[in-house]
Structure 1
Amino acid sequence: MILTCSVWAGELRVFSYNIHHGAGMDGALDLKRIAEVIKKQKPDIVALQEVDKHVPRSGKVDQAAELAKLLGMHYAFGKCIDLQGGEYGNAILSKYPIRDTFIHPLPGPGEPRAVLEVILNVKGKKLSFASVHLDWKENDTRVAQISAMEKVLSLRNYPVIIAGDFNAKPDSEAMRLLATTWSLTPKSGARLTMPANDPDKEIDYIAYRGFESVKASCLVLEEELASDHRPLIGVILLP
């Protein structure tokens, strides 16, 4: 299913996907399948989570680089942890050249997490785009991570979009905190994103701020196989 909407001047297509290191609900490791899911939506920028780089479990492939090659996009990778002699973290794909890349470590007692941020020039305008994967165990940790993320990204004096797996339900303290300074892209239709084959949780989101005026919409794709999360495609009107 492809998101359809009115054609706005300056339309930006934003995709977010926790790819589960390319492993689908059928147990098959298939990065090309992930690429096809992304390609069908024709995104401008893509936030990915649970991405492997040179990890034995996924064939020691640099997954961000391979997806970028399959899709003809620029890419950045941000390590969160060392894993099996390789690395594991977040990635961003972009049809626009990436000007700068930042990895912002997040606090917490559990598995180390980080925000991957890139700076883009989109149709002559400066834009920050970030991929995030928050802690899955404790709400207090997620609240602290959102506060830390806010401290860094609030310094940007140009529009910022953040997307990813927040591991938090819409009515949680973490998401209420996020909503005090960010606009969550409203979902049309189904809202649940995980597990992919029979979702009962809404934990993946696209949020933005810094736009003078904006229309935005977001769709959870009915993709049940390629990963354990369903992906999001959002459309944001540039100022």
Structure 2
Amino acid sequence: MIKVASYNMHKGVGADRRCNPERIVDVLREIDADIIALQEADRRFGTRERVIPLHLLDEQSDWKPVAVGRRIGSMGWHGNAILVRKSAEVVECDAIHLPALEPRGAVTADIRLAGSAIRVVGMHLDLSGLWRRRQAAAILAHLAHRNTPSPTLLMGDLNEWTAAAGCLRDFGRDFRFAATGPSFHARRPIGRLDRIMASTDLTIVDCGVHASPAARKASDHLPIWAILEPAR
């Protein structure tokens, strides 16, 4: 079994409007997932530097970033990043260009962890329903053209307020949704904007929203998590 998580870390800016990457790492340590998809992991303007300094991960965590960054100082691609255990092997990774009016992207990695292989996609979709559906189609097309099939996990902030329409219907044709619950806004969560979706060759054993006191302060989203195992 592996534990995964998705977290819109809001560029490290918490409820007190202070940027504090140490709090983000503290929350990640509380969750203790094997694979983590981060959104808003890089600053938006200028050189788009990573919010979490690499030394924090090196010295205070058991994770390493997957090398999907296209800018020297960035952790990810358009703010999307993937963290994996330092013991994991990253077989392949890439950035996915998404159609959008404003810069949007997704990231993907093939990971081998404790003898198991899994394909992970991290994403942060548009505020517009029309563009979300176009972006979902681009991600699904990218996966369909991969030469080697693999158990696949999609995670991220979908920005979808509806219960089963729009891009959720598109993803739902091939993926199962973890029933994690509402994660936005962190102080009073009512929206299920953050999602974990697994291919049918994976079983979702358990899942939830990480609503610790630290998580309620660290970002405007709460992290979500799931425990997965191969389907039998």
> Which residue of the partner structure matches residue 209 of structure 2?
220
User: Could you say if the C-alpha distance between residues 196 and 57 of structure 1 is closer, same or farther in structure 2, counting changes exceeding 3 Å?
Assistant: farther
Among all aligned residue pairs of Structure 1 and Structure 2, give the percentage whose two residues are the same amino acid: 24
User: Could you say if the C-alpha distance between residues 113 and 79 of structure 1 is closer, same or farther in structure 2, counting changes exceeding 3 Å?
Assistant: farther
1:180 aligns with 2:156: no
> Which has the larger strand fraction?
1
Q: Deviations over 1:32-51 (max 9, x none)?
A: 11111110121100000001
Give distance in 2, aligned partners of 1:80 and 1:115: 12
TM-score between both structures, scaled by the size of structure 2: 0.85
Q: How many residues align?
A: 220
> CA offset at residue 108 of structure 1?
1.8
1:90 aligns with 2:80: yes
Maintained 8 Å contact 2:13/2:218:
yes
> Which residue of the partner structure matches residue 7 of structure 1?
none
> 1:67-216 residue pairs with structure 2 within 5 A?
68-69=57-58, 70-76=60-66, 78=68, 88-95=78-85, 96-109=88-101, 111-136=102-127, 138-154=128-144, 155=146, 156-169=148-161, 170-187=163-180, 191-211=181-201, 214-216=203-205
User: Could you say if the C-alpha distance between residues 61 and 128 of structure 1 is closer, same or farther in structure 2, counting changes exceeding 3 Å?
Assistant: closer
TM-score between both structures, scaled by the size of structure 1: 0.82
Give distance in 2, aligned partners of 1:224 and 1:67: 21
> Which residue of the partner structure matches residue 36 of structure 1?
26
Maintained 8 Å contact 1:51/1:64:
no
Unmatched 5+ residue regions in structure 2? Answer: none
> CA offset at residue 153 of structure 1?
1.3
Moved more, 118-127 or 34-43: 118-127
Moved more, 202-211 or 67-76: 67-76
Moved more, 194-203 or 160-169: 194-203
Unmatched 5+ residue regions in structure 1? Answer: 1-10
Give distance in 1, aligned partners of 2:194 and 2:44: 26
User: Could you say if the C-alpha distance between residues 97 and 82 of structure 1 is closer, same or farther in structure 2, counting changes exceeding 3 Å?
Assistant: closer
Give distance in 1, aligned partners of 2:200 and 2:7: 23
Provide the aligned C-alpha RMSD in A: 2.7
Give distance in 2, aligned partners of 1:63 and 1:178: 30
> CA offset at residue 55 of structure 1?
6.1
Give distance in 2, aligned partners of 1:174 and 1:80: 27
> What letter corresponds to residue 105 of structure 2 in structure 1?
A
Give the 3-state SS of the residue equivalent to 1:152 in structure 2. helix
User: Could you say if the C-alpha distance between residues 98 and 233 of structure 1 is closer, same or farther in structure 2, counting changes exceeding 3 Å?
Assistant: same
Give distance in 1, aligned partners of 2:18 and 2:47: 12
